[in-house]
Amino acid sequence: MQPNVSAYRAVVRPAGIAVLALCTATACKGPQAPMQFPPTQVTTVTVAPQTIAAHYRYQGIARSSKHIIVRAQVAGVIIARPFIEGTDVAKGTLLYEIDTTQYAAALRNASGSLDDAKAKLANANINLNRVRPLLAERAVAQSTVDSAEQIYRQAQADVDASQGAVDQARKSYNDCFVRAEVSGRAGLAYLVLGSRVTGSSDSLTTLDQIDPLYVEFNPSDQDLLEWRREIAAKRLSFPTGKLRVRVYLADGSVVEQPGTLNFADISIQSETGTETLRATFPNAGHIILPGQFVKVELLDLKRDGALLVPQRAVQQGLAGSYVYVVGDSNKVGIRPVQASSWSGSQWIIDNGIKPGDKVIVDGTQKIFPGAPVKPVEYQAAADTGGAQPVGQDVPAAPAFPLVSGR
C-alpha cells in the first residue's frame, strides 16, 4: 500500500511554517541581556591594630625548692626513728637517734682534759705574776721570768686545744641526734632500727621542701629568637617587674595563685636546643608534688599592634590561608595571609592585611573575586569570644596552640 503523501505534507508544512515564524521573531529581538542579581550581603570587620595579651605555653615539671638527702655524720647503731615516713616535719624535728655511748664518753673525757688545762693555765698565771715584780728588784734572773712566761703561753695553748677537742666531741655527740635542717616532707626511711650507720656515706632519708615549689620549663631557641625579634620590632613587650607564670594541671584545672619567674639559664642545652627557665610557686595546700608534669603559661606579656580577624574569616586553599576583602566599588578581593596563632576566637595575622582593610567574615560561600557585595559591619558580640583584653587573666585553658609546637 502506498503512503498518503498528501496527508504527510499537510501535517509537516504548517509545523515548519510555525517554527520558521518563531525563529524569525526571536532573531528580530536581537541578543538577550544577562540576568542581573542583587549584590550579596556580607559582614565585614575593619582591621585595626590592638594591644592584646600574648600567651605562651610550655610543658613543665615540678621540683622541690629544697631537696635534701639526710645523711649520718657519725657511725653507730640506730636506736630510734621517731618520724613517720611521708609526713611533714618542722625544722629541728628529730628524725634518727644513733647510740650515744661512745660519744658521750668522749665528750666527758675532752671536758676533763679541758678542766685540767684550765687549772694548769691558772697556776702558770699565778707563777708569772709572782716572778715579774721580783725582776725589777733583781731578786730573780731574767731567765726565770722568761721561763714563767713560756709556761703560761704553753698552758694557754693547751686550753685552746682542749677546748677544740671538747667542741669536736660535743658535735659528734649532737650528731647522734639527726634532725631536720628545714621544714618539709620526709621521704622513705632507708635504714631501720638496729641498723648500723658507718658514716656520712649512708643515706637515712630525704627531705623535700614543697612550699614554695619550683616548676621548670624549656622554651626552644626558636622561641627565644622570636621573642628577641618581636621585642626589637616593638610588637612584644615584657613587664618591668617579675614575670608571672600560671600552672595548669593534667586535668586542665588552673592553680589559683600564679608564681613568678626566678631563674633563667645562661646557656642553651645542646641536646635539646632549649633553655631552662624556672618559676617559684606558693604551694600551701601541696596541690603540686615534685615530679608532677604540668603546663605553664607566661602572663603579663603584651602584643602591640596586633591585627586580628575572626577565625571563620580565614579560608584555607591549596596555596595556603587567605581572606576575602571588600575593595573599591564594593568588589570582592582576595588576600593571602599568614596567621601565626589564636587569641580567643580570633586569628592573629602577621602578613597579608593592613589596618583599614575590610575583611569579610560571613557570606563567603556565595562570593568570588570581583563579585559585587553589600557590606554590613560585623558585630563582635555575635561571636563566641574575642581577643583577651590586656591585664585580665585567662580563667580556663584558652584555644591556642602550644608555642613549642609551632
Per DSSP, the three-state class of 112 is helix
Per DSSP, the three-state class of 100 is coil
For residues 264 and 355, what is the distance between their CA atoms, to the nearest angstrom? 37
Those residues whose C-beta lies under 8 Å from the C-beta of residue 78, and which sit 6 or more positions away, are 96, 97, 98, 99, 191, 192, 193, 194, 195, 196, 197
Q: Residue 193 corresponds to which amino acid?
A: L
C-alpha cell at 212: 614554695
Strand partners, 338: 351
Residue 74: how many other CB atoms lie within 10 Å: 20
Instruction: Give the model's pLDDT for residue 326.
Output: 94
Alpha helices in 137-242 (DSSP H): 142-174, 221-232
Domain covering 55-63+211-302 in this structure, CATH number? 2.40.30.170
CB 356 within 8 A of CB 346: no
For residues 370 and 5, what is the distance between their CA atoms, to the nearest angstrom? 60
Average pLDDT over residues 61-88: 94
Answer whether residue 12 shows pLDDT above 80.
no
> Using one digit for the tens of pLDDT, what is the confidence trace for 181-195?
999 999 999 998 999
Instruction: Give the model's pLDDT for residue 340.
Output: 76
Answer whether residue 22 shows pLDDT above 50.
no
Instruction: Give the model's pLDDT for residue 226.
Output: 86
Most confident of 6-10, 13-17, 365-369: 365-369
Alpha helices in 30-86 (DSSP H): none
Those residues whose C-beta lies under 8 Å from the C-beta of residue 157, and which sit 6 or more positions away, are none
Q: Strand 196-197 to strand 293-310: parallel, antiparallel, or no bridges (unpaired)?
A: unpaired
CB 352 within 8 A of CB 337: yes
C-alpha cell at 98: 644513733
Instruction: Give the model's pLDDT for residue 359.
Output: 93
Please give the share of the chain, as a percent, with pLDDT higher than 90.
52
For residues 403 and 301, what is the distance between their CA atoms, to the nearest angstrom? 14
Domain covering 42-52+304-405 in this structure, CATH number? 2.40.420.20
> Using one digit for the tens of pLDDT, what is the confidence trace for 245-283?
999 999 989 998 999 999 999 888 888 899 999 999 999
Instruction: Give the model's pLDDT for residue 35.
Output: 63
CB 83 within 8 A of CB 93: yes
> Using one digit for the tens of pLDDT, what is the confidence trace for 330-386?
999 999 999 877 777 888 898 899 999 999 999 888 889 999 999 999 887 545 444
CB 120 within 8 A of CB 155: yes
> Using one digit for the tens of pLDDT, what is the confidence trace for 112-121?
999 999 999 9
C-alpha cell at 53: 595579651
C-alpha cell at 187: 621521704
Higher pLDDT, 398 or 26: 26
Higher pLDDT, 87 or 138: 87
**Boundaries of every domain in the chain:** 42-52+304-405, 55-63+211-302, 73-99+176-201, 101-174
Mean pLDDT of the chain: 84
Class at the top of the CATH hierarchy for domain 73-99+176-201: mainly beta
Answer whether residue 395 shows pLDDT above 60.
no
CB 29 within 8 A of CB 277: no
Instruction: Give the model's pLDDT for residue 366.
Output: 87
For residues 178 and 206, what is the distance between their CA atoms, to the nearest angstrom? 12
For residues 309 and 98, what is the distance between their CA atoms, to the nearest angstrom? 71
Place of cell 613543665: 60
- Fold adopted by 101-174: Helix Hairpins (1.10.287)
